[in-house]
Amino acid sequence: MYKIVITTLFSLFFCFSAFSMKVFDMEEIRDSSTLQIKVLQKWHQVQGPIATRQKLVTINVGDLWPGQEYRIPVRMVVPANRKAQGFHLTGGSTPSRLEKDARPSPAERELLEGGVGLVFTVVQEPGTYGQRALSQASEKRFAETLNPRVKIQYWAWPATLMRAITTAYAEKDHFERGKVAASGGSKNGASPSMAIIHDERMTAVHATVSPIWDSPLRLNDEDAWKELRAQPGRRGGFTGGHFGPNFNERVLDAGGTWKELQNFARDISDDVFISRNLNALRKRGVNMLFHPGTHDFVAFDMAWGGKQHPTIPIYLGANTGHGKRGHSKIERDQQNKTGFMLKHFFPSEVKGDLLAPPQVKSELTNKTLKVSVSFASGSAEESGRIWWIFDRAPDGSPNYISEMIPDNQTMEMKKMGDQWTATIKLDPKAKRIDFFSNHGKTLRYKESAYRTYISSPYTRVNLK
């Protein structure tokens, strides 16, 4: 009897801890008085290909739990001769790298010359910069409580980006309110994708190899997980995870249940997935572009997303993902991020618009699949190439990640009126085919041309 009561009380505590609070308190996020700023480098001039003014500080993002602050550095860069209006934000740096004055890339120089600032901070696993004990304590508390506030991935990283915005806008002599576009890959793609849902100061996100949508595996659907577990090979720690690394086993080991994991995934997903917030983001006028990769262990559910969310703008680099080199025919001239940022900050000065996701149709015969892709009138797309793979392994499985699109399973498409078309010869033994197409368009800013690409929705067709 005593054991049953204790177990029941633990289960109630487990559920209550997970859902008794919001993920973010936006008043807390925007409160500059609580930043506890420590100035490491005052505002100073930095010479180079473009002159800038820069400042380095550390801030308290907030307490992960009572008494445990989460402190990170922030470097701010503005033009040498005026305030910045808005800025490009990224967490893709390290504390040691931020100690040195930033040397803006050619694309960043274009932003600075146009009056846009740069804000660099750190969205990295704390163990990589000497705080492994903090990471371990965070994971232990989360496994025991399912409280998103104590998990760095769910709270600290998105909050870091939002608090960096608060830090920059507190520098009233150096920043004016304007557009805030965030970019990055992996954790630095997921974190801004989550932050932009909550922080209306953010106006654009360009994210690579990171989650976008709430597929069955992410929501701990029992049938999806049964299929995944039946697949051969060693499944990694990311595939199947809700918003990144999979924590299911740690939670179960700590006394949680599968039902509690399902409840957590269900209840928090509105706070983390772009797919659940499309209408609100579009109403705000947010610009979005995602590069999930076709063979990535974090973005492991392309067919589901292509079917359920065909209007989310995506570029699919064939055979790309964490650590992948890409297909032999991949678009090596792709400049999506630069084109995206320039168009976002200087819409009237960039000639041409980024392509919007097209519609795709397919017609199946006994031996071929005819594919047609159509864009809105006046899109002015300049090229088309299709890629396909037969009998791809299920989402998140080892073979889903490792088996590449063969070199000979791609071709240029033909423009027929308002459509791009291709006819694929089918493998008579195949049970299904996955395909997508990529389409290019050149944008121009000042004297430079930028080659951009958009993909059709990733599509799966059953052949038998």
DSSP per residue over 293-327, as a string? -SS-SSS--HHHHHHH-TTS-B---TT-STT----
Q: What is the pLDDT, as a whole number, of residue 15?
A: 41
Amino acid at residue number 58: T
Establish if 84 belongs to a structural domain: yes
Establish if 229 belongs to a structural domain: yes
Q: 10 Å Cβ neighbour count for 28?
A: 14
Q: What is the largest CA-CA distance in the chain?
A: 78
Establish if 69 belongs to a structural domain: yes
Establish if 201 belongs to a structural domain: yes
Establish if 292 belongs to a structural domain: yes
Amino acid at residue number 157: W
Establish if 193 belongs to a structural domain: yes
Q: What is the pLDDT, as a whole number, of residue 190?
A: 98
Kindly state the tokens that stand for 271: 């706070």
Kindly state the tokens that stand for 175: 């920043």
Q: What's the predicted TM-score (pTM) here? A: 0.94
CATH assignment of the domain containing 52 = 3.40.50
CA distances to 1, 121, 362 from 77, rounded to whole Å, are: 63, 12, 49
Q: What domain range includes position 53?
A: 2-355+446-451
Establish if 362 belongs to a structural domain: no
Per-residue pLDDT tens listing for the chain (464 residues):
333 333 333 333 344 344 444 799 999 999 999 999 999 999 999 999 999 999 999 999 999 999 999 999 999 999 999 999 999 999 999 999 999 999 999 999 999 999 999 999 999 999 999 999 999 999 999 999 999 999 999 999 999 999 999 999 999 999 999 999 999 999 999 999 999 999 999 999 999 999 999 999 999 999 999 999 999 998 888 999 999 999 999 999 999 999 999 999 999 999 999 999 999 999 999 999 999 999 999 999 999 999 999 999 999 999 999 999 999 999 999 999 999 999 999 999 999 999 999 999 999 998 999 999 999 999 999 999 999 999 999 999 999 999 999 999 999 999 988 899 999 999 999 999 999 999 999 999 999 999 999 999 999 999 98
Report how far residue 164's alpha carbon sits from residue 159's, in angstroms, rounded to the nearest whole number.
Answer: 8
Q: What is the pLDDT, as a whole number, of residue 418?
A: 87
Report how far residue 395's alpha carbon sits from residue 216's, in angstroms, rounded to the nearest whole number.
Answer: 10
Segment holding 141, helix H or strand E? helix 132-145
- Determine contact, residues 196/289, Cβ cutoff 8 Å: no
Q: How far apart are the first and last CA of the chain?
A: 55
Establish if 170 belongs to a structural domain: yes
Q: What is the pLDDT, as a whole number, of residue 51?
A: 98
How many domains does the chain fold into? 1
